[in-house]
Structure 1
Amino acid sequence: MSTDLIRYDLLAQEALRGVVRRVLEDVSRTGLPGEHHFYISFNTEFPGVRISPRLREKYPEEMTIVIQHQFWDLNVEDHDFQIGLSFSNIPEMLHVPFDAITGFFDPSVKFGLKFEPLTPVDEDGKTSESSPAPAAVPAPASEVRSIVPAARPAKAEAEDEKAASENGDETEEKPEGAQIVSLDKFRKK
């Protein structure tokens, strides 16, 4: 088998993160259309994530936010976004790099994206040694998922995927018609 020198896996993840960026840009300009709303999960330890110490203590590894009825000051840049949300009636401003995002889901249309966590690189292009992100990343394209169910805890999903891989299953049945699709199904083996 030949080596992928182009790194299609990285290009695919970058393109899919661009979908999230574009959707948030549209929402920042015109608001949420119709019944659309989003669940966005992200790695709270990723460099550049800025959340309050209170939230960091409550969500030391991963956090999921809901963009629906009450949010403000959504500002989308090329590499990150900022948003105001209320947590237990306490207003908070969050700053999230797109590379920190691990999941995006719009339950109104059952569309979601799951991302493998990226290994941060420093300004010299070297992998950051002090970073808590996994060193085995980026993952192969077979691990990039294109549709996931909403409100599914990340730990439960990881356990299900581990069990499926041990049983040789490539897809997992999901409630309400949602289905995980592996990019491997579309590649030649």
Structure 2
Amino acid sequence: MVFPFDYTSPSAQFTFDVNTSTLFKKDSQNFINVLGIQQLNTLDNVSLLDIFLSPNNVIEPHYHQNASELVYCISGGLTVSLLNPFTKQMQHFPLSPGQVANVPQGWWHYEVATEKHTHLLAIFNAPTPEVILGSDILKLTPANIMAQTYCLDKTLWEKAIAPVVPSTFIGPPASCNKTTES
């Protein structure tokens, strides 16, 4: 058997405190910690996000082009929603503690917390999951291309996406005054 890492090396790491590795922090109740090969060099083809959310906070729509994702609810509750690319239908899966949802590689999806103190793990079958965020697609695609492609008024499109901040990760922004819509 060939191992991808020299497990006899003095630099081999076998433990790590995920609480010390914040990927994104919106506030004290909504944040994401990360564990990948950069944090724990003996990991092979696995990584995870340790996610904490308060009600109605959303892990923004996104997809992973190099990994499937297993979403495991530890506490609270959430809904995992995904776009099935074969049926073109949105599917919504409510999860409570101990339940999981599988998001196949490349599928557009998002998670919405439905309970207080929601804690979940997103587990990936890649050492570093690549992510394409909805906020990046919306904000970084030139407005004239969106207008031309979808027959939109360019000025209205620019106005509509003006509040979008690239790499949002957890929405809505703290400054949002709107009520939550499903």
By percentage of residues, which structure has more helix?
A: 1
By percentage of residues, which structure has more strand?
A: 2
Q: Which has the larger radius of gyration?
A: 2
Higher relative contact order (CA 8 A, sep 6+): 2
User: What range describes the TM-score normalised by the shorter chain of this pair?
Assistant: under 0.3
